[in-house]
Amino acid sequence: MHEIICPHCDKVFKVDESGYAEILKQVRDSDFETQLHERLELAEREKQNAVELAKATVSNELQKTAAVRDIEIRDLKSKLDASEVTRKLAVTEAVSAVTKERDMLANAIAQAEQEKKAASDLAEALLASELQKVSVAKDDEIRDLKAKLKGVELEKRLAVTEAINAVEKERDELKNGIKQAELEKQLAEQALKDKYETKIKDRDDAIERLKDMKARLSTKMVGETLEQHCETEFNRARSMAFPRAYFEKDNDARTGSKGDYIFRDSDEAGTEFISIMFEMKNESDKTATKSKNEDFLKELDRDRTEKACEYAVLVSLLEPESELYNAGIVDVFHRYPKMYVVRPQFFLPMITLLRNASLNSLKYKTELALVKAQNIDITQFESQLETFKNGFAKNYDLASRHFQTAISEIDKSIDHLQKTRDALIGADRNLRLANDKAQDVTIKKLTRTNPTMAAKFSELRNQAAEAAE
């Protein structure tokens, strides 16, 4: 019976074991529900903060991207305006030069017609021909400028289109990112919900197991009852699973310490292939000082060594709230070799696993000994090794030749491309020289080797000088 004091009226109530357990369960369930509710609220607040931060980040990125695109568009517009001004100035200068040259040629023709009709006709024909060439050249230049202007306009439109497309693409990507974030948030919420539901189910299962274990345990002999439980479980399976096994209490205390149980098993020939030292630990809920599993590992390892056992297993109900030990079989190899800590429900599975592993190890050891006892044909091994080495050398030589051939072809391609590049550079140089020569052609140079035309132009210059005087 348990005595409970009411916190309001200070009265003392006596309740039995089942009533006390029910009250304790209600208190624990209430605390657990409160903690779970608080954690869910905290997770919801963190989720909202993450969403707000993502939205702010996306908005800032959109503003920055829009500002950069506006700057690029303004730069493109300024470059386009500058190119338009340059084109207009070039056209004006070209027209002015053509007009000036035309006026000069017209004056020369008028003066030549007054002096000599024949010379005037010839000079007019030559000047008309030259004027036509100049006009054609200027028309070509104007057409080139117009084509360049169209190209600049097209490039501007393409740049604006590309900028708009890039901004729209980034906008769509940001929208998709927001949708993805929302989906990930929903998945995270569902995963968190599933995780807590799983934890709640595991906690309920653990509580039910503990309730069942407490119902079976005696309040007088807690530790001995766990030993009796394990022994009973083993004896139930002995005839079917362990017909030749030895499982008895360790009563040898000559060294000052002893374990709880020793398990040994052997094959049909009587050869022992596995041995396990067991230690069972439990304590009542009323115990003031709670022990830990690690407190018994060192002593268990010493008992295992003194009794010449290969494995050591601690069957424990200590630390009932530990997720590590409640999850299943726990190895503590980092502390002691071949040592495990298990709950009582894993007692028989632990023996079965270790026994099967030892049987397989015994089988492999037997086969290895048989192989070592046989006479190995060293000559055949060396012959196969030599054949492999020769084949590998031939394959390497063939691959090396193919590799060198490929390198040679690459070098030839590089030489061919270099020659093509040099030819193109030479053609560009000749075109530039031809253009310079065409630009250097004048009426004087065309009539330099014609004495008649030279004399006519000399007379024209003299008459013009006399008229000026």
d(CA 16, CA 26): 16
Enumerate the β-bridge partners of residue 13. Answer: 4
d(CA 239, CA 353): 18
Look at the block and give the residue holding tokens 């030279």.
454
pLDDT at site 184: 82
CB 280 within 8 A of CB 274: no
Q: In this predicted model, which residue has the larger pLDDT, 136 or 349?
A: 349
Enumerate the β-bridge partners of residue 261. Answer: 249, 278
Look at the block and give the residue holding tokens 């060396």.
382
Find the distance separating the first CA and the last CA of the chain, reported in whole Å. 148
The closest alpha carbon to 222, from 164, 287, 314, 135, belongs to 287
d(CA 69, CA 166): 9
Q: In this predicted model, which residue has the larger pLDDT, 176 or 211?
A: 176
For 274-331, the pLDDT digits (tens) are 999 999 998 764 455 678 999 999 999 999 999 999 999 999 999 888 889 998 899 9
d(CA 331, CA 341): 6
Percent of the chain with pLDDT over 90: 18
d(CA 88, CA 86): 6
pLDDT at site 369: 67
**Does position 398 have pLDDT exceeding 70, yes or no?**
yes
Q: In this structure, which amino acid lies at residue 466?
A: E
d(CA 450, CA 447): 5
d(CA 218, CA 435): 115
Residues in the chain: 469
Q: How many CA atoms lie within 13 A of 179 on its CB side?
A: 6
Is 291 exposed, middle or buried, given 0-12, 13-18 or 19+ CB atoms closer than 10 A?
A: middle
| DSSP 8-state secondary structure symbol assigned to residue 11 | -
Look at the block and give the residue holding tokens 């006479």.
375
The closest alpha carbon to 234, from 245, 223, 225, belongs to 245
CB 292 within 8 A of CB 316: no
Enumerate the β-bridge partners of residue 313. Answer: 278, 340
Task: Please name the residues in contact with 88: beta carbons below 8 A apart, sequence gap of 6 or more.
Answer: none
Largest CA distance in the chain: 152
For 399-456, the pLDDT digits (tens) are 667 767 777 777 777 777 777 777 777 777 777 777 776 666 665 665 666 677 667 7
pLDDT at site 338: 94
DSSP secondary structure, 165-190, as one string: HHHHHHHHHHHHHHHHHHHHHHHHHH
pLDDT at site 469: 67
**Structure tokens of 448?**
């330099």
Percent of the chain with pLDDT over 70: 70
Whether the CA torsion 374, 375, 377, 381 is positive or negative: it is positive
CB 454 within 8 A of CB 447: yes
The closest alpha carbon to 303, from 280, 271, 324, belongs to 280
Summary mean pLDDT of the chain: 76
d(CA 463, CA 330): 123
pTM over the 0.75 mark: no
CB 463 within 8 A of CB 107: no
Which segment, 136-150, 292-306, 362-376, is predicted with the most confidence on average?
Answer: 292-306
**Does position 217 have pLDDT exceeding 50, yes or no?**
no
Q: In this structure, which amino acid lies at residue 437?
A: K
CB 256 within 8 A of CB 195: no
d(CA 203, CA 210): 10
d(CA 371, CA 365): 10
CB 330 within 8 A of CB 356: no
CB 277 within 8 A of CB 250: yes
For 94-135, the pLDDT digits (tens) are 667 657 766 776 676 677 667 666 655 665 666 567 667 766
